[in-house]
């Protein structure tokens, strides 16, 4: 498979931090917010420290000073990082009042470096908001966004099309999509050059993060490094990993150069740089779920062509050619692929439309 172009990128610069605060992806912000609340609910037995009304929303009982409310949110953040086993110091830098809430800026310090972010908290200190979305900035349809009911004729065409599949490595539905793509490439190897798996996440304090925690973040980075530096082994590794999730065993069985892989994963000018390219494209395309397919720069849906089967996704990819090659005439299985780890291509767990 052809190695992708690698663009020089500066990671975690002051300008990028500034841009992160001012210009953000609202859907990603909400996903992060509710993800944090889910973890917190597990750690606090369903937010036992909050008072709830009929709707289940937290109800404050008094107004705190900006510093008191901010420190209450910081206490929660400290408990979150402690529960996650992360050693991070948090320092309150300043506070202000914004639209009936308090805004507060904190500095995170760890062995990986420092970063500054602005968050929000209600005046009673009961609700912490990782991001505030201005309602005056209405969401506009993005250029290249596919409309429902797309057909082969309506998809964007290229002489050398590219199908990008955004996934995370421990999402059952991301694994399902990787299984579909592996099945396509096993049967029609010529199409491997037109398919690229990319990963969702972020780089925080010089470290890759992922929606399902450190184990997933490490595996995402591992797969990215194999994809970029040992591309001839990438699909062999993926085909093995999606069976049991046995990373160590798959590295051995596929003959991955472990020294080269470890160097890539530990070198910020390699692994982190490759990952940041994926994350930048994720933001450009406004991708928030695993899996999400992008064909020739446009979001597409496999469900317009039959769902998560090898035949459906092969057809979708082939519709991206200006001149469809003869290999596209080969029919593949129309059975929906199994979700999560599975030895078989399909199973009773085969689903139709899930996303992480």
**pLDDT tens, the chain, 356 aa long:** 444 444 443 334 333 333 333 333 433 444 444 444 444 444 444 334 434 333 333 444 578 999 999 999 999 999 888 887 778 889 998 888 888 899 898 888 876 566 667 889 999 999 988 877 666 554 444 444 554 678 999 999 999 999 999 999 999 999 999 999 999 999 999 999 999 999 999 999 999 999 899 999 999 999 999 999 999 999 999 999 999 999 999 999 999 999 999 999 999 999 999 999 999 999 999 999 999 999 999 999 999 999 999 999 999 999 999 999 999 999 999 999 999 999 999 986 555 668 89
pTM value? 0.62
Q: How far is it, in rounded angstroms, from Cα 220 to Cα 281?
A: 15
Domain with CATH 3.40.30.10 in the chain: 163-329
- Closest by CA to 218, choosing from 164, 290, 181, 170, is 170
Q: In sequence order, which ranges of 188-230 are alpha helices (DSSP H)?
A: 214-229
Identify the bridge partners of residue 298 per DSSP, sorted by sequence position. Answer: 295
- What DSSP letter does each residue of 146-204 carry, written as one string? PPTT--TTTS--BSS--EEEEE-TT-HHHHHHHHHHHHHHHH-GGGGGGEEEEE--EEE
The topology (CATH level 3) of 163-329 is: Glutaredoxin (3.40.30)
CB 70 within 8 A of CB 121: yes
CA dihedral sign, ordered 42, 46, 47, 49:
negative
Going by the DSSP 8-state scheme, the letter that residue 53 receives in this structure is -
Backbone phi, psi, residue 12, to 5°: 60, 35
Identify the bridge partners of residue 197 per DSSP, sorted by sequence position. Answer: 165
Residue 57: the pLDDT is 36
């Amino acid at each position: 498979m052809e190695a992708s172009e690698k663009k020089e990128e500066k990671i975690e610069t002051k300008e990028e931090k500034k841009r992160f605060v001012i210009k953000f992806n609202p859907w990603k912000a909400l996903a992060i917010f509710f993800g944090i609340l889910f973890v917190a609910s597990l750690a606090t037995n369903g937010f036992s420290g909050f008072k709830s009304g009929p709707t289940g929303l937290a109800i404050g009982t008094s107004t705190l000073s900006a510093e008191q409310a901010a420190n209450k949110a910081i206490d929660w953040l400290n408990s979150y990082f402690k529960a996650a086993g992360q050693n991070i110091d948090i320092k309150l830098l300043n506070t202000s009042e914004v639209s009936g809430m308090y805004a507060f800026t904190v500095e995170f310090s760890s062995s990986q470096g420092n970063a500054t972010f602005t968050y929000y908290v209600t005046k009673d200190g009961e609700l912490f908001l990782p991001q505030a979305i201005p309602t005056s900035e209405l969401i506009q349809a993005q250029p290249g966004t596919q409309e429902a009911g797309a057909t082969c004729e309506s998809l964007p065409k290229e002489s050398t099309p590219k199908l990008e599949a955004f996934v995370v490595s421990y999402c059952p539905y991301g694994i399902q999509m990787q299984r579909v793509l592996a099945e396509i490439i096993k049967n029609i190897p010529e199409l491997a050059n037109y398919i690229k798996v990319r990963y969702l996440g972020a780089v925080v304090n010089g470290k890759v993060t992922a929606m399902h925690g450190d184990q997933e973040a490490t595996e995402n980075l591992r797969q990215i490094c194999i994809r970029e530096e040992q591309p001839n082994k990438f699909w062999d590794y993926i085909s093995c990993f999606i069976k049991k999730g046995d990373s160590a065993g798959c590295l051995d069985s596929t003959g991955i150069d472990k020294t080269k892989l470890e160097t890539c994963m530990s070198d910020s000018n390699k692994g982190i740089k490759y990952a940041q390219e994926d994350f930048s494209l994720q933001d450009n395309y406004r991708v928030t779920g695993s899996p999400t397919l992008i064909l020739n720069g446009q979001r597409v849906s496999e469900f317009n062509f039959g769902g998560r089967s090898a035949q459906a996704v092969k057809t979708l990819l082939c519709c991206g050619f200006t001149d469809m090659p003869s290999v596209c005439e080969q029919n593949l299985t129309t059975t929906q692929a199994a979700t999560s780890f599975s030895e078989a291509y399909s199973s009773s767990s085969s689903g139709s439309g899930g996303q992480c």
